[in-house]
Structure 1
Amino acid sequence: MADLFADDPPQSASPDEPAEDAPLADRLRPRSLAEVIGQEHLTGPEGAIGRMVAAGRLSSMVLWGPPGTGKTSIARLLATEVGMRYEAVSAVFSGVADLKKAFAAAGKAKQAGQRTLLFVDEIHRFNRAQQDGFLPFVERGVVTLVGATTENPSFELNAALLSRAQVLILHRLDAEALGRLLGRAETLEGPLPVTPAARDALIASADGDGRFLLNQAETLYAANIDASLDPAALGQFLQRRVAVYDKDREGHYNLISALHKAVRGSDPQAALYYLARMTVAGEEPLFLARRLVRMAVEDIGMADPAALPQCVAAKDAYQFLGSPEGELALVQACIYLATAPKSNAVYKAQKAALRSAKETGSLMPPMNIVNAPTKLMKDIGYGEGYRYDHNAEEGFSGDDYWPDAMEPQTFYEPVERGFERKVRERLDYWAKLRGERGA
């Protein structure tokens, strides 16, 4: 499952009772870790947070999860549960001066015997130098750092900071957790003016974000709607939620990875789904075309040599037609790749050949196949003994083309699928002839 509220703007006070006119999400904020919905893998007795609270001692941590999963709520509750002073800054609104002030206050509190939990919202937005500034205060125990981020910490945070903090992953809210959260809202405010089907549609529209769900519910309550809305009426009343997707962030790479693996796994239905997800989210179609071309050469290769021209043609068609008509060509290429026989023999051959080339350095090719453009070079043996394959029986001389100091290698191993089955038969035949002719 996944948790409760999202990452609200940080505050520098302990959790207080919210005002009666406070937003619904604030009024429903959990008052204890036991009330946090859906992060039991962390907050339960066997979870990392549950164990730390039971011991009464926290280590620095980074809470990593999507919006609306309770990172801020958990940080506040942690301070309360273990009796620590709570200080919060936001990387969006705070600078070096704010950090210095927070560290100075924490230092004074430590002298007075008070431990400080420093919550840093959107910690990934601090640059590398600013992140390094946390290190001495964390190491000296001036603060226990709790950072919150929606981005992959391994990409966005310094290795030195990560080595001093435990990364805890919060799950996105699933339908069951969102339903529980909406139930809490209805206990407080009364039944929502929606049909059961529309309630399910409302939950689905939240896309795992509890805060967004509560904001939508609050909009419905405020409208004083008399009749229950069905899914169609609900869609007209509420603005449509845009898919969570940053084209330069992890969501982008997760989806393109899923698309690639679905194609590799010969599942055209799943491949179409991820292609559609990226299209709906506004992905650049030419980026998709480039990745389809890569799939054609990496995962299909010689098993179906037509896969590559299919993808290049799809790219040309898209550039000729534009959106949305040209996107159909990308869909056709995607289906072609997913249903084509698979082979990574070309990909493996490239890797093996590059590795061998690096290991063997600058070995000279055998003299019979090096070029001899001058008389001197011919006189000293360049090109001597070369046999022109077209003049040989069956167009195959069977010569040895490897450097004298190197044993023949096998880089390309065609599979027994698609066109490569015929390629393998051809290679086996030439190997037989080579053996017969004593190359």
Structure 2
Amino acid sequence: MPADLFDQNPTDPAVGGTPAPAGHRPLADRLRPQSLAEVIGQGKVLSSDGPLGSMLEAGSLGSLILWGPPGVGKTTIARLLADQTDLHFVQISAIFSGVPELRRVFEAARMRRDQGRGTLLFVDEIHRFNKAQQDSFLPLMEDGTILLVGATTENPSFELNAALLSRAQVIVLERLSLADLELLAQRAEREMGRPLPMTAPARERLLGMADGDGRAALNLIEQVFAWRLPGPLDPEGLAQRLMRRAAKYDKSGDEHYNLISALHKSVRGSDPDAALYWFARMLEGGEDPRYLARRITRMAIEDIGLADPDAQTHCLHAWEVYERLGSPEGELALAQALIYLALAPKSNAGYRAFSDAKAEAKRTGSLMPPAHILNAPTKLMKDQGYGAGYAYDHNAEDGFSGQNYFPEGIKRPVLYSPVERGFERELKKRLDWFVQQRLKRGQPKGG
């Protein structure tokens, strides 16, 4: 902690304070930044070469969608943008506002415009508005009646309509790092005029409990300041007094898809440690282990394939163990299947082959099979040439006739191309042998 931490004026805006008396205002409100320069953790977008900073420098601020997790400064940034651009600030929440409220806000904004003052309309949880409500903003955005700043924790690509997105720039705000939260803690200590009564390990644990949420961090810090303690609090004492915040995880939203993507790509990238980490994160967030069992089995099929045919068996057995034991014991079986997949040789040759086969079937789906491999149960069908010239492979030398089985008139495609890894190395040898035998018999190589 810096030596001059308590030598600064706690009401100086440069250190996050405010000149107003604290009273009973929550600590998070008392430390609300008074300028964009005081906002912590969003330097990438607020710096002079960032998307928002560059707009402000050029004097060309337009409508925005602020997308980010809770407690990263969306509301604060919107208020400060209004101050910096001398726009009247109006805040509504899509959760509590309906059509009558929007009409009143729009009418007031029009009157303000006619008087020569613009309006920055901040809409919290904007993704909660339906398509018609979102469309109602468009005319006022186009004629300059409002500058819209929407805030959302959900992916705008899925939750906001295309017309609104085409008229607003999406600004991505990041969760706060531990270093950012430490800066917030130091501001809180300046405001309170004393250090947090805890050891360094306890301090780190406290900030970790906030999970990147600045508002949550300040609320936790405020609780600690309110305690009467005989001495500095250690991690064990902190754990007894504070329940750990549940990790941010929406089982039906972006976080669900982000984490399953991270899990899948960790397995594909042969990193068992990362795979176990994301697996544990999803379980900790309340994900259904049966969903994870299904996705793990899919990974075996999609990314390991025939490079290790036993991978599917391991996954199915782990799934069965989970069904028999349940949680938490059965989760260990799924974790071990993940480790096996991460360390297995990788191949998506079968996955690609099937995808290419479906595309080829769609392109040539009306072509008949060659006549020599058609059954001829009637005399008429025999007279039509069905089955004529069929070579029974078991009677051929090496058990391989080399006949063509694709429809007449299409170039023989090569769909399955095994890799030189794992069991597919052996399959590639067999495939190459069959290709050579077809060439000897006058069949095209394919491609």
Deviation for aligned residue 1:18: 7.1
Secondary structure (helix, strand or coil) at the match of 1:326 reads helix
Distance, in Å, in 2 between the alignment partners of 1:401 and 1:43 is: 63
Secondary structure (helix, strand or coil) at the match of 1:261 reads helix
- The within-5 A match list for 1:127-276 is 127-189=130-192, 190-276=194-280
> Quick check: 1:193–1:226 contact (8 Å CA) kept in 2?
no
The answer to whether structure 1 residue 278 and structure 2 residue 286 are counterparts is no
> Quick check: 1:266–1:338 contact (8 Å CA) kept in 2?
yes
Q: Name the structure 1 match of 2:74.
A: 71
Q: CA 1:256–1:49 in 2, change beyond 3 Å: closer, same or farther?
A: same
Secondary structure (helix, strand or coil) at the match of 2:377 reads coil
Normalization by structure 1: what TM-score?
0.94
Task: Letter of the 2:340 partner, please give it.
Answer: Y
The answer to whether structure 1 residue 434 and structure 2 residue 438 are counterparts is yes
Higher relative contact order (CA 8 A, sep 6+): 1
Distance, in Å, in 2 between the alignment partners of 1:267 and 1:43 is: 35
Task: Letter of the 1:426 partner, please give it.
Answer: R
Distance, in Å, in 1 between the alignment partners of 2:254 and 2:294 is: 19
Task: State the percentage of identical aligned residues.
Answer: 59
Task: Letter of the 1:414 partner, please give it.
Answer: P
Q: Name the structure 2 match of 1:27.
A: 30
- Which stretch has the larger CA shift, 429-438 or 399-408? 429-438
- Match for residue 38 of structure 1 among 41, 45, 54: 41
- The within-5 A match list for 1:329-348 is 329-348=333-352
Distance, in Å, in 1 between the alignment partners of 2:360 and 2:416 is: 13
Q: Name the structure 2 match of 1:308.
A: 312
Distance, in Å, in 2 between the alignment partners of 1:213 and 1:116 is: 32
Q: Name the structure 2 match of 1:4.
A: none
Secondary structure (helix, strand or coil) at the match of 2:298 reads helix
Task: Letter of the 1:396 partner, please give it.
Answer: F
> Quick check: 1:57–1:82 contact (8 Å CA) kept in 2?
no
Deviation for aligned residue 1:385: 0.9
- Match for residue 409 of structure 2 among 397, 405, 409: 405
> Quick check: 1:18–1:26 contact (8 Å CA) kept in 2?
no
The answer to whether structure 1 residue 384 and structure 2 residue 385 are counterparts is no
Deviation sequence 1:18-45 (CA, Å, 0-9, x none):
7521000000000111111121222222
Distance, in Å, in 2 between the alignment partners of 1:166 and 1:271 is: 34
Secondary structure (helix, strand or coil) at the match of 2:120 reads strand
Distance, in Å, in 1 between the alignment partners of 2:177 and 2:392 is: 68
- Which stretch has the larger CA shift, 230-239 or 108-117? 230-239
Deviation for aligned residue 1:120: 0.2
Deviation for aligned residue 1:58: 2.1
Distance, in Å, in 1 between the alignment partners of 2:247 and 2:340 is: 27
Deviation for aligned residue 1:16: 9.8
- Which stretch has the larger CA shift, 411-420 or 43-52? 43-52
- The within-5 A match list for 1:283-294 is 283-294=287-298
